[in-house]
Structure 1
């Protein structure tokens, strides 16, 4: 029956995985996407003849995608070509201060010892052991749980499981906890950066985010053809299972009457009936009224003060010299605290911000050299004020000068041409992802309770579900995919119960 179909709003990773899971079980699924291509934040930007990944650039937790493909009767390696990186990332503080983290754990220990001394190498070994313990404890009990709560976590872990977390003081920040392993401030910067993977400050994020170190040690891959290839393959898999994906379809409202969802309305005036709707958009679009007054209170309100980081990004084709770029590179300033005080405290662009550079034509071993221009993606953390503060041209230009000066301080010279460069600001991210202010990770994970307050799959309205990196279990491609699985499981369980 037509009204028994499921509507998925958004063809980001979470929405596509939801569609795959439901279509594989025989449900009629219709995905409506406002953009002209799948992927959401996993997008490409055209710079002249080049296509540059302009969103997530790291592929981890491969096994999550292997499970998704297997459940759909397919194999991941038959659809995606993945190349393991031998160098996870290259880090620099100046021309003389460089440190690589390797896929080979012992090589990383040796590199840290050479960089900062034997005591720091021992601290890194202990840090990694604790990161592994945190991950193995929280993976089945929190990440894969449909609705996170402290009591639920305690119930699933048991006393013995919670004992595995005894080395992590629950009220400590990631930054403070890193100080128990590292005396070298540069190493605290390096591993404190894990908090920015979920759009947060290391000075306010919980120490449990140490688990990201273990995730990286389990493998980091490069996707042949670019990260956007992941979205394309997921869309093809969903369609192969019978789901339909319609692009250029702008959903402006969710119809909810008589105690449940009844369908959606589109910008062109069309209404589509459905008894289940999955929203693969930032939950702020719900609470902000962007999808109609009828569903505004489907989840507790989300305030702008809780937003995660936004960004200034540059996609460019340029020649480089000096610094030996790997695939993933991070260039640090000296005053790490000032970066987050500027962003979260003052709501301004950082004066001494960390710059991430993805050199998308570099080999997986980090030792390649290129003749001629190469594709680069640069990212600088920024305040999520795209709906309140249109950064003026002078402010943006001064920030850009600081970014490329930071790179030159570390030995990287980029011969950039404004005609071969595309910038995206928080204002433009707000336009792409309404009601977020340009925040790219949903709510910031600040304080030990934050992980339990992230919106879950189910809402207060029967038949209305959430998926995406702004929902539980969190930001990042693997977690967005997991959110899609959780949304599908919740929807199927509710159908069985009725």
Structure 2
């Protein structure tokens, strides 16, 4: 029987996982990407001679990668070395002397919160953790692990106990309103409200269910030897080991259809790669906008600009620091949190008082960094996803940089941007990820129905399958990896249904339980 062929467009995490799993099943896989190497948003920048992560910086949900690697015949030992972080993140506020560390051990976090905000808030935190655990356990199976859910399928999967858990949050509650029930200290409400931004949303519009991120973090946050980009590189190597062909610097200009079915791609320069299916690991709105052919405009529903997720302005810099002992992950808050999201989602401008995240990438080792040593920092401020409409030039971004530095200085951190600093704006992200407007998380997770609006692995075009942070189950590296697993499964079902070809048997699969799930039972 003839070998089945699949073209994967895009070497982000979803595309790499799909390529690996399909190749493992005996499919002839060709992956193409316009970039010079793998990673997509898990990209690197070279600053003052040092490579550093310039995209996602947090490794969580280790069970996702264990499951996928097992399915491909590998194990977690095939990834770069992981080191569990004791301090999940360090938090500081403008004009407040005290800082607050959250720890992997919730009891240590409770002690820190007790010192920071009082014993009553520590007890409220522990109750919050218990509820986060229940919500995570409720949604992990029916939402995160399954194909694109509907309201009806979710209700059927949850059962009475699961429905009771979610109803307890308030069916239409926002994360911000929910947190007000738990915490009296405004700084704690602000800290945990930031979980909405992990999905590109505002705490005032995101559903209360996003409080489950607390459980995700308590299950573990890891630093990766070589950075997050090294994870993408390793998945690319594993896909090649199983026979996939990876072609970088090779833009795809069109997805080819035959009788309305996706049957290959056309590359820049005119070369055509014919296939039995195509996996698209890019922003789904590139299809809507006709960037890969007018015949694909109806493949997924259009996403209005108002429903795009957050973008960002980032500064990648190598510089000495002083005055504040950085952890690997650090968050610096302004006092007026609401104004940040009003600026971004309503006024459509860079925030006048925005939160600044700093990833200190040389603080991942167990030994302290010697004083005065230049270190690699990625600084990030949330921004409106309007990179397709505005240039975000220096007249706008220079004052934003100065406001960010002012916040850091007021929190005690002394650092300077220098001539080698690399700034990335929403306009730059839009150029890197066409049709996105610079939105880094696909659709914003606003409102309880947002969970059901994302496209799934299958779309309206037969033979075309979708992966990436813009589709189900959502943004972030683990979710993008799961989307690649779902796209591979949907592609395999399509290949089997259209031929007498049979894939090779593999171990593992989507039914494998995570360590978290096992521990909860």
- Fold match (TM-score > 0.5): yes
* Counterpart-to-counterpart distance in 2, 1:4 and 1:365: 48
Shift of 1:66: 1.1
* Counterpart-to-counterpart distance in 1, 2:477 and 2:230: 13
User: Root-mean-square deviation (CA), in Å?
Assistant: 1.4
Shift of 1:494: 2.5
Shift of 1:345: 0.3
1:307 is the counterpart of 2:308: yes
What does the per-residue CA deviation read over 1:281-304, in whole Å, with 9 as the maximum and x for residues that have no partner?
011111111111111101112221
* Counterpart-to-counterpart distance in 2, 1:178 and 1:207: 8
Check the 8 A contact 1:90/1:101 in 2, yes or no. Answer: yes
Deviates more, 1:73-82 or 1:332-341: 73-82
How many residue pairs align between the two structures?
Answer: 497
Deviates more, 1:158-167 or 1:79-88: 158-167
**What residue is the counterpart of 2:506 in the other structure?**
none
Shift of 1:363: 3.6
Q: Secondary structure at the match of 1:316?
A: strand
* Counterpart-to-counterpart distance in 1, 2:331 and 2:371: 19
**What residue is the counterpart of 2:292 in the other structure?**
291
Check the 8 A contact 1:64/1:482 in 2, yes or no. Answer: yes
Counterparts of 1:70-469 in structure 2, within 5 Å, are 70-93=70-93, 94-363=95-364, 368-417=369-418, 419-469=419-469
Deviates more, 1:458-467 or 1:264-273: 264-273
* Counterpart-to-counterpart distance in 1, 2:201 and 2:331: 17
Check the 8 A contact 1:9/1:277 in 2, yes or no. Answer: yes
Q: Secondary structure at the match of 2:100?
A: strand
* Counterpart-to-counterpart distance in 2, 1:29 and 1:35: 18
Check the 8 A contact 1:459/1:466 in 2, yes or no. Answer: yes
* Counterpart-to-counterpart distance in 2, 1:311 and 1:251: 26
1:23 is the counterpart of 2:23: yes
Check the 8 A contact 2:3/2:27 in 1, yes or no. Answer: no
**What residue is the counterpart of 2:504 in the other structure?**
none
Shift of 1:132: 0.7
What does the per-residue CA deviation read over 1:116-151, in whole Å, with 9 as the maximum and x for residues that have no partner?
111111111111111111111111111111111111
* Counterpart-to-counterpart distance in 2, 1:3 and 1:492: 13
1:34 is the counterpart of 2:26: no
* Counterpart-to-counterpart distance in 2, 1:136 and 1:79: 26
What does the per-residue CA deviation read over 1:390-441, in whole Å, with 9 as the maximum and x for residues that have no partner?
1232221111100000000100010332x22100011110000011110000
Check the 8 A contact 1:256/1:295 in 2, yes or no. Answer: no
* Counterpart-to-counterpart distance in 2, 1:196 and 1:264: 35
**What residue is the counterpart of 1:497 in the other structure?**
497
* Counterpart-to-counterpart distance in 1, 2:390 and 2:399: 16
**What residue is the counterpart of 2:68 in the other structure?**
68
* Counterpart-to-counterpart distance in 1, 2:146 and 2:78: 29
Q: Secondary structure at the match of 1:411?
A: coil
**What residue is the counterpart of 1:47 in the other structure?**
47
* Counterpart-to-counterpart distance in 2, 1:372 and 1:216: 29
* Counterpart-to-counterpart distance in 1, 2:292 and 2:407: 42
What does the per-residue CA deviation read over 1:38-85, in whole Å, with 9 as the maximum and x for residues that have no partner?
000000001121111100001001111111111111121243200000
Which segments of 5 or more consecutive residues in structure 1 lack a partner in the other structure? none
Shift of 1:333: 0.3
Q: Secondary structure at the match of 1:96?
A: coil
Deviates more, 1:276-285 or 1:296-305: 296-305
Deviates more, 1:60-69 or 1:229-238: 60-69
Shift of 1:95: 4.9
What does the per-residue CA deviation read over 1:323-375, in whole Å, with 9 as the maximum and x for residues that have no partner?
11000000000000000000000110000000000001114569655432110
What does the per-residue CA deviation read over 1:439-496, in whole Å, with 9 as the maximum and x for residues that have no partner?
0000000111011001110001110000001110000000000000011111112333
Check the 8 A contact 1:3/1:273 in 2, yes or no. Answer: no
* Counterpart-to-counterpart distance in 2, 1:96 and 1:340: 25
Check the 8 A contact 2:322/2:372 in 1, yes or no. Answer: no
* Counterpart-to-counterpart distance in 2, 1:281 and 1:366: 39
What does the per-residue CA deviation read over 1:183-210, in whole Å, with 9 as the maximum and x for residues that have no partner?
1110011000011011100100000001
Structure 1 ranges of 4+ moved more than 4 A: 364-369
* Counterpart-to-counterpart distance in 1, 2:60 and 2:208: 20
What does the per-residue CA deviation read over 1:225-263, in whole Å, with 9 as the maximum and x for residues that have no partner?
111100000000000011110000100111123131121
Shift of 1:497: 3.1
Deviates more, 1:238-247 or 1:93-102: 93-102
Check the 8 A contact 1:200/1:308 in 2, yes or no. Answer: yes
**What residue is the counterpart of 2:514 in the other structure?**
none
